[in-house]
Amino acid sequence: MDKPTKILLVDDDPIFFSFADMEINNVETAVEIHKAMICEEAIYFLRQGQVDIIFLDLNMPVMNGWEFLDALPQVENNDHQIYVLTSSIDPSDQRKADENPFVTSMLEKPLDKDKISKVLTS
Amino acid sequence: MINDSLKQLGEFVGADRSYVFDFNLDKGLCNNTFEWCAPGITPEIETNQNLTLDMMPELVEAHLNGQPMIVNDVQEVEKVDFKKLLQAQGIKSFITMPMIHDKECVGFVGFDWVKHHHTASQKEVILLELFSEMLVNIRIRSHNERELHKLFSKTIEQNQRLKDFSYITSHNFRSSVANLVGLLTIIEEDPLNKEYFEMLKATALKLNLAIDAINDLLNFEKDISNLDKEEINLLEVVNDVIFLNRKSAVDKKIDLKVDIPKDLTLRILPAYLQSILHNLITNAMKYGVTESSRKVEISAIKQAKGVLLTVADQGRGIDMKRFGSKMFQLGSRFHPDEESGHGMGLYMTKQQIEAIDGRIEVESEQNKGTKFKVYFNG
C-alpha cells in the first residue's frame, strides 16, 4: 500500500478519539484524521470520498461494527483497509473478524503507538 | 403413541371404545385422558371429566386393590348413578384394569363394548394387564422427558444470561480500562496536560458507574421470594423519583406531567417499583427530549386486574421494525450520546417487572416519541 494519508476513526467514545488522534500524530503527522461517532455517519462519509484506513469499534449504539461491515458492500469506494477495534475478550469476535472479507485485522484496545506504527507501515 | 396403542388393542379385542383414566385421589376425582372409538361410536372423553370417585365405588375399590373390574353385562353394576352413567354412554359390557405405579393405583385402562354384549376371556384380561403396565412405563418416561426438557430450557436461559453478563463485563469494563491505559501512556509523554487528567477522571467515573450497574444486576438476580410486598402509593413513589431527578429536569427544561390518582396503591416490592419507575422516567428524560419537544407524561389508571402505568415522551423515538426486538436485550443501546448507558436499564426493568408477574409493552415511532406501558398485577 502507498503511504496512507487518510484515516477514519469510527467509535462512539470521545475519549478514544482524543488519544487516538494524539497517538496517530505521534507516529505520523502527515495524515488526515476523520471521525465518526455512529456508523451511519461513517457510511455517509465513505460515500463522499475515500480513505486508506478505517479503525472500527465493534460495540456501538444503534448500528454496531458488524452491522457496519454488512452495510459496506453498498458503499462504492471501498479501497481501504479496515482494522476492527475491540475491548471484548469474546473469542467469537476474533473468529468473525477472521472470516469477514472486509477486515484486515483485529486489534485490541487501547490503540497505542506500536499498533499504529504497524498499521501505518504495513 | 398412547392413542395408537389404544386403537390397535381396541381393534384386536373387537371393542368399541378403549381409554385411559387418571385418578386424582386427593380431590377424589378421575379424568378420561386418552380415548379411541371404533367408527360410528360417540366419543365420551369430554363428558368423562372430573367424575367423582364416590360415584363408582366398585371400580375404585377393585383397582385400589390391584384388581381388574370385569362386567359382562352393565346391569350387574350395583351403584345406580354409576350404572346410569355407563348406560348413557351406550355401554353394554366393559373391562377396566388398574395402572399401578410404585404400588399405587394412578388410574385405569379400559375397553367398552357398545354394539353388543361381550364376555371377557382370560386372554383379554392378560392382554389388558400387560397393556396397562406398558402405559405406566410410557407415562413415566414422558414425564421424565418433560422434566428433563424443563431443566434443559432453564439451563439454556441461565447460560444466555451468563453470556450477556460476561459480555457487559468484558466490554464495559475493558473499554474503560483500555481508555485508562491509553490515557496514562499519553500523560507519561506529556505530563503537564491538564485535559488528559480530566479525561482520566471521566473514564474512572464511567468505570465506577459500570461496576455499580453490574452490582445492581447481581443484586436483582437474588431470590426475590423472601422479600416483602407492601401496599404502596404509586403517586408518592413517582414524585420521589422526580424529586431525585429534579436537577436534570430543570437543566433540560423538561415539561413533566403526572396524572396518577392520589389514592392509587399497589401491593408490590418497594425496591422494584422504585427501580422500575426510576429507569423508565430517567430514560424518558434522557432520550425522549428534543429541542422542540420536552414533554414527558407519566400516568396510571386502575384496571380490572391491576394497574396500568404509562410513561410517554414525544422525543426521537425508535424504529421499531429495525430495533424493536433488541429493545429489552442486555447490552442494547440506541442513543449515541454522552449520556448513553450500559445497555442494562431496560433489560433490568423488564426482568423486574416480569419477576413480579407484570408485563411491559412499548410503542415507538421515529420522531414522534416512545410510550412504555407497564401492567402491574394486584
Determine the average pLDDT of the residues in A85-110: 85
User: How far apart (Å, rounded) are the C-alpha atoms in residues A16 and A10?
Assistant: 10
Q: How many CB pairs under 8 A join A and B?
A: 73
Which is more confident, A90 or B108? Answer: B108
User: How confident is the model at residue A78, as a pLDDT?
Assistant: 67
Chain A contact present for B203, CB below 8 A: yes
Q: Residue B307's pLDDT band (boundaries 50, 70, 90)?
A: very high
Quote the CA–CA distance of B67 and B202 in Å, as a whole number. 80
> Given B170, B183, B199, which is nearest A89 (Cβ)?
B170
Say yes or no for a CB contact (<8 Å) between B175 and A59: yes
Asked if B179 and A110 come within 8 Å (Cβ–Cβ), the reply is yes
Helix (H) / strand (E) containing A77: none
- Convert B149-176 to b/e letters by CB count within 10 Å (16 or more is b): eeeeeeeeeeeeeeebbebbbbbbebbb
What's the rounded mean pLDDT across residues A11-26?
86
Residue B300 has pLDDT above 90, yes or no: yes
- Return the pLDDT at B280: 92
Across the interface, which of A19, A38, A87 has its CB nearest the CB of B175? A87
pLDDT of B72 reads: 94
- B223 at interface of A, judged by CB pairs closer than 8 A: no
pLDDT at B116 exceeding the cut of 90: yes
- For the segment B133-169, what is each residue's pLDDT rounded down to a tens digit? 888 888 888 888 888 888 887 787 777 667 667 766 7
Q: Which residues of A fall within a CB distance of 8 Å from B179?
A: 13, 15-16, 19, 109-110
Place of cell 500524530: A25
* A63 in any annotated domain: yes
Range scoring the smallest mean pLDDT among A5-9, A18-22, B13-17, B160-164: B160-164
Are A87 and B170 inside 8 Å of each other by CB? yes
Whether residue A109 contacts residue B203, with contact meaning beta carbons closer than 8 Å, is answered with no
pLDDT tens string B158-210: 776 676 677 667 667 777 888 888 888 888 887 888 888 888 888 888 787 77
Query: Which pLDDT score, from 0 to 100, does residue B32 have?
Result: 95
Give the three-state DSSP class for B51. strand
Domain presence at residue A95: yes
Give the domain range for residue A72.
Answer: 6-121
Phi then psi for A111, rounded to 5 degrees?
Answer: -85, 100
- H helices of B190-319, in order, are 194-220, 234-244, 246-251, 270-287
Cβ–Cβ < 8 Å for B50, B29:
yes
Is A33 within the bounds of a domain?
Answer: yes
pLDDT at B35 (0 to 100): 95
Q: Is there a cis peptide before residue B336, judged by omega within 30 degrees of 0?
A: no
Question: What is the predicted pLDDT for the residue at B33?
Answer: 93
Indicate which CATH number applies to the domain containing A54. 3.40.50.2300
What are φ and ψ of residue B137, in 5° steps? Answer: -60, -45
Binary contact (B336, A38; C-beta < 8 A): yes
B185 phi and psi angles, rounded to 5 deg: -60, -45
Q: What pLDDT score was predicted for residue B337? A: 59
Q: Which residues in chain B (163-182) have CB-CB distances under 8 A to chain A?
A: 166-167, 170-171, 174-175, 177-179, 181-182
Can you say how many angstroms the Cα of residue B7 is from the centroid of all Cα atoms in its chain?
36
Does residue A115 lie within any of the structural domains? yes
CA distance B375 to B303: 9
Better pLDDT: B216 or A105: A105
Comparing CB atoms, the residue among B167, B181, B335 nearest residue A110 is B181
Q: ipTM value, please give it.
A: 0.74
| Section B100-129 average pLDDT | 91
DSSP designation for B172: I
* Contacts (Cβ under 8 Å, ≥6 apart) of B306: B266, B358, B375, B376, B377, B378
Residue A51: name the closest of A87, A9, A6, A89 by CA.
Answer: A6
Nearest CA in chain A to B178: A110
Residue A10 lies in a domain: yes
> Which pairs count as long-range contacts for B248-255, CB under 8 Å and 24+ apart, including other chains?
B248/B282, B248/B285, B248/B286, B249/B285, B252/B285, B252/B289, B252/B294, B253/B294, B254/B285, B254/B289, B254/B294, B254/B295, B254/B296, B255/B294, B255/B295, B255/B296
Whether A65 maps to a domain, the answer reads: yes
Q: Search chain B and give the residue with CA nearest A15.
A: B199
Separation between Cα atoms, residue A104 and residue A4, nearest integer Å: 15
Q: What is the Cα–Cα distance from A113 to A20, expressed in whole angstroms? A: 9
Instruction: Give per-residue pLDDT as tens, A45-71.
Output: 888 888 999 999 988 777 788 888 988
The verdict on a CB contact (< 8 Å) between B183 and A13 is no
Which amino acid is residue A104, in one-letter code? T
Q: How many CB atoms lie within 10 A of CB A74?
A: 10
Cα–Cα distance measured from residue B285 to residue B252, given in angstroms and rounded to the nearest whole number? 8
Average pLDDT (B280-300) is 89
Residue A1 lies in a domain: no
The model carries a pTM of: 0.50
Domain count along chain A: 1
Whether A78 maps to a domain, the answer reads yes
Q: Contact, B334 vs A60, CB < 8 A?
A: no
10 Å CB burial of residue B146 (0-12, 13-18, 19+) is: exposed
**What is the rounded (10 degree) CA torsion for A56, A61, A63, A66?**
50
